[in-house]
Chain A
Amino acid sequence: MLNIWIVARRELSAYFTSPLAYVFIVIFLALAGGLTFFFGQWLERGQADLQVFFIYHPYLYLFLIPAVGMRLWAEERKSGTIEFLLTLPVTTGQIVVGKFLAAWVFAGIALALTFPMWITVNMLGQPDNGVILAAYIGSWLMAGGFLALSACVSAMTKNQVIAFVLASALCFVFMMSGVEIIQSFFRAWTPQTFVESVSELSFLTNFNEVSQGVIDVRDLVFFFSVIGIALFVNTAIVEAKKGV
């Protein structure tokens, strides 16, 4: 555990010593706010809730989270620091988890910095703060899922751009698997149970449930399983690609 924490701390501080953290946070806040006000017409709706704020998160994450995740392993492999890191007395699994946690905490910091939205909505009316808290948790879990997928893809390549594009595509598939287009694609040639299980894998479906304020155990299990499986695969890829 201590090793994971040491690795995560180094990673997290690396975010803030480079411009990456600040660029990411500023863009994330600007987009999250802009979408809510202009597209979601938050003020015009006259409702004291943050539904239109959270509704755009999956789409924001679709390209912002791969931008955070793309460097996790591709950069290490490109610069050769992976050899330095993996010859320290730490297991590959600990590094995988440590790196992921650092990126996840970083995404959490960006998300937490949207707190003025929450203050505003409380000044304007009496929102259900329980629902808002649940939606924040759901949003952060979804970010975690996207991040774990991105980290996994990042371990496959030395090229950060390839990692970004592939991770975005993979996240898109996971996000949209509940949507009709993807569903009909599978329906044509797979059994109904498979189509249903693909739809269950949808980030959108799972996130929408949580953002309504209902934290179902199944949604938690879903996001944590995605993270767990992706990190497991991530570890295997790092191990397999070390010498290449």
Chain B
Amino acid sequence: MTTLLDIRGLTKKYGPITAVDDVSFSVDQGEVLGFIGPNGSGKSTTMKIVTGFLTPTSGTVEVGGLDVTRHPLEIKRRIGYLPEGAPLYGDMTPISLLNFVCKVRRLSKEETKRGIEYAVEKLHIANVLYQPIETLSKGYKRRVGLAQAIVHEPELLILDEPTDGLDPNQKHEVRELLKEMSGKKAVIISTHILEEVEAVCSRAIVIAKGKMVADADPLSLQSRSRLHNAVGIRLPAAQAQACIEMLNGLGGVHQVRTTVETASMVELMALSTDNSEILASVHTAIDEKGIQVNEIYVERGRLEDVFRDLTYAVEGLQQDPDANPEASNA
């Protein structure tokens, strides 16, 4: 694996405010890195430094072994970048914008033709190529922004909130595109949509107040959730009381929550002590007691939960110890 991006001790200060605080990580070819964090946490600033738009206060950024402050042009050539909100020249048409980008990037006629055909096909913008960008819908604008970022087949693709403002189908398409493109490249996306991280990213970095608070693959991040290995049970309301009693008496069960309650149906969630696996013992106990259930499943954990745990502390926010989607539904 070749390392395409290497960041060491990156810090960016705006006067007294530290936007990015001693961030270090590297990204290899083939990785799709999800950059997640609350608004204003320094995601965009980090991306702006990597793309050479901003200069770091201290620390180094190397793309393909070249230092970003010393070889800005060479690095800009290798990067494809979609800035936040996909700002584009409204008076241009997508085709003239793409041609402009290809010219600036010094693509040959052949490469320009191939690059534009590829980007247009992948992002389904063929039907709007000759309309002024300012007349396009938000989804099309975003896709034109993505097209200009991939038209030169960059080694490193940096996308700041690429699916923001897209409808579910468009989001799906963009995610498919990212997966498909990741093979030879490295992709970095920033997002607040955690399902996106699960769907496309091979690795996630959580950043809060400019500091990195986690760097792991989405699965192991999920396992840090308090709900990891919890067992969810859906059963008829008549059986609920017996089941709760049974679970409370069971070793390894730390807490039982009622997550959904209707007249006929109840959903329970049994949280395990130290996130250990309890499915087998729960299953056996249910059989022994002859409790009738409709569904049993193991919770892998919720990224949202982990995200909140990781970022609340850094942001200095008060956290309700029971704050999670389940409790609020109960």
Contacts and interface: CB of A to CB of B under 8 A. Distances in A.
B54 A242 contact: yes
Interface centre among A79, A83, A242 (most CB of B within 10 A): A83
Interface in B90-145: 90-92, 96, 100-101, 103-106, 132
Interface residues of A, number: 21
B104 A90 contact: yes
Given A84-B87, A87-B76, A6 B48 contact: no
Contacts of A193: none
Interface stretch (A10-18, A24-32, A120-128, A134-142): A10-18
B51 interface: yes
B87 A89 contact: no
Interface string A82-93: 011011111100
B14 A83 contact: no
Interface stretch (B29-37, B78-86, B216-224): B78-86
Contact of B87 (A10, A17, A81, A90): A81
A80 B87 contact: yes
B89 A81 contact: yes
Contacts of A14: 89, 91-92
Contacts of A80: 83-85, 87
A87 B79 CA distance: 9
Nearest to B152: A89
B73 interface: yes
A79 B81 contact: no
Interface string B10-51: 000010000000000000000000000000000001001001
Contacts of B85: 80
- Per DSSP, chain A at the interface is helix
A86 B52 CA distance: 8
Contact of B100 (A10, A17, A83): A10
Contact of B53 (A17, A79, A86, A89): A86
A83 B103 contact: no
B87 A83 contact: yes
A89 B54 contact: no
A243 B14 contact: yes
A83 B81 CA distance: 10
A87 B81 contact: yes
Chain B residues touching A, range: 20 to 34
A88 B88 contact: no
Nearest to B54: A243
Nearest to B100: A10
A3 interface: yes
B250 to A, nearest CB: 56
B73 A89 contact: yes
A188 B167 CA distance: 68
B134 to A, nearest CB: 10
B76 A89 contact: yes
A87 B14 CA distance: 20
B77 interface: yes
A237 to B, nearest CB: 15
Contacts of A86: 52-53
A243 B148 CA distance: 22
A13 to B, nearest CB: 8
B67 to A, nearest CB: 16
Nearest to A90: B104
A242 B53 contact: yes
Given A79-B87, A80-B85, A243-B54, A91 B92 contact: no
A89 B77 contact: yes
Contact of B104 (A6, A79, A243): A6
A17 B92 contact: yes
Interface in A164-193: none
A83 B83 contact: yes
Contact of A89 (B88, B91, B105): B105
B79 to A, nearest CB: 7
Given A80-B83, A83-B48, A87-B52, A18 B73 contact: no
A13 B85 CA distance: 24
Contacts of B74: 89
A84 B87 CA distance: 7
Interface in A59-95: 79-81, 83-84, 86-91
B129 to A, nearest CB: 15
A87 B159 CA distance: 13
A5 B91 CA distance: 19
A87 B105 contact: no
Listed from nearest, the 5 A-B pairs whose CB atoms lie closest are A80-B87, A89-B76, A83-B83, A89-B77, A87-B51
Interface of B: 14, 45, 48, 51-54, 72-74, 76-77, 79, 81, 83-85, 87-92, 96, 100-101, 103-106, 132, 148
Given A7-B104, A86-B52, 15 more contacts: A6-B103, A17-B91, A17-B92, A79-B90, A80-B84, A84-B87, A84-B148, A87-B51, A87-B52, A88-B76, A88-B104, A89-B76, A90-B104, A243-B14, A243-B45
12 contacts: A3-B104, A6-B100, A13-B96, A79-B87, A84-B81, A84-B87, A84-B88, A87-B79, A88-B104, A91-B72, A243-B48, A243-B54
